[in-house]
Amino acid sequence: MKLSQTLTALCAVAMLATPVLAETTLRFAHPTPEADIQHQMAEFFAAELAERTDGEVTVQIFPAGQLGSDAQAIDGTRSGTIDITIAGLNNFTGLIPEAAAFTLPFMFPTRETAYRVLDGAVGQGVGDQMGDFGLVLLGYPENGFRNMTNNTSPIRVPSDVAGLQMRVNNSQALSDMFQALGANPIQLDVNELYTSLETGVVTAQDHPIPVTLSFRFYEVQDYLSLTRHAYSPLGWVMNQNSFADLPPEHQQILMEVAADAVAFQRNLAIEGEEAMLATLSEHLEINDDVDGAAFQEAVRPAWDGFIADHGDTLINAILDASAE
């Protein structure tokens, strides 16, 4: 009897001494419909993370703003009620105002330039600052280049924008840009935009091709003009404590999977754009004959306003990194 009790006690001690990795479920909120490439990225991330951790880390996805607006999702991720979220980088400028430099009109000439800057020291420097607000940067996926749609006419020159009731996000740079072009900027959450276009609260909007398609804005707009006036990066972040609570091996796996997911999503944007445009052309009149040089000159006040408020340090760092 004593021997049996001793063996039982030894087994209990051995079980306590053996490290057991607890199963973890992470809540991942994002703003887009399930048809969007952001959701496809979330699904890729969830599947790969579960596989590479042998099911010890799983992800529950909440698409289409189910857990709130971009601002609410970021606040929830900072507080820990949400573990992971993704939002346009403009939504983080309340925390890091100078990060708006990435969204200035005509900042990046190509996607490849944007990738080099965001993935390099400049982008990672902004990511490091997110740590001051309880966030871990997982990467910079993309929306793509922003283009204008409206219900009036094709946009070819800056004067074509004058008078439009233009929905804008909370980017001060883009709001200043549309004011400089003579539009009337009206700030709306993206999940309110379809109804606002349908009812005429606004008559125009600007988004990258995947978002215009996945949110079905083509149903309530007539013209798509490929102005490519601003590159639209996303900020993908995780709650700092949720990340720290993972064992080191799972932290490493998560960051590796996140890098793979960003590459996967960017590739979807690049390879799928032609097909997306083809689908949109069935519903919208699309024009590509935009006077880019005239637009760049006309939107210079947006740059001047940013420099007046935040200086030109980050702008110069971006331009220097772009030229490397």
Domain positions in the chain: 2-323
Over 3-14, what HEC string results? Answer: HHHHHHHHHHHH
Give start and end residues of each alpha helix (H) in the chain.
Answer: 2-17, 37-52, 70-79, 111-119, 121-130, 172-180, 190-199, 209-214, 240-245, 248-281, 292-298, 300-310, 313-323
Which single residue is written with the structure tokens 């009149």? Answer: 285
What pLDDT does 236 receive? 98
What pLDDT does 17 receive? 42
Which single residue is written with the structure tokens 């590796």? Answer: 256
Q: Is the pLDDT of residue 62 over 80?
A: yes
Among 154, 155, 150, 153, which Cα is nearest to 166's? 150
User: pLDDT tier at 58 (50, 70, 90 boundaries)?
Assistant: very high
Q: Which helix (H) or strand (E) holds 186?
A: strand 184-187
What is the distance between the alpha carbons of residues 179 and 82, in angstroms, rounded to a whole number?
A: 35
Per-residue pLDDT reduced to its tens digit, 100-134: 999 999 999 999 999 999 999 999 999 999 999 99
Per-residue pLDDT reduced to its tens digit, 255-305: 999 999 999 999 999 999 999 999 999 999 999 999 999 999 999 999 999
Per-residue pLDDT reduced to its tens digit, 186-228: 999 999 999 999 999 999 999 999 999 999 999 999 999 999 9
User: pLDDT tier at 22 (50, 70, 90 boundaries)?
Assistant: low
Q: Is residue 168 within 8 Å of residue 88, measured between CB atoms?
A: no
Q: Is residue 190 within 8 Å of residue 36, measured between CB atoms?
A: no
Average pLDDT of 38-50? 98
Structure tokens at 244: 């720290």
User: pLDDT tier at 3 (50, 70, 90 boundaries)?
Assistant: very low
Task: Classify 2-323 by CATH class.
Answer: alpha beta
Structure tokens at 8: 């039982």
Least confident of 7-11, 113-117, 192-196, 235-239: 7-11
What pLDDT does 201 receive? 97
Q: Concatenate the DSSP letters of all residues of 126-179 into one string.
A: HHHHHGGGTEEEEE--EEEEEEEEESS----SGGGGTT-EEEE-S-HHHHHHHH
- Looking at the chain, the whole-number percentage of residues with pLDDT higher than 70 is 93
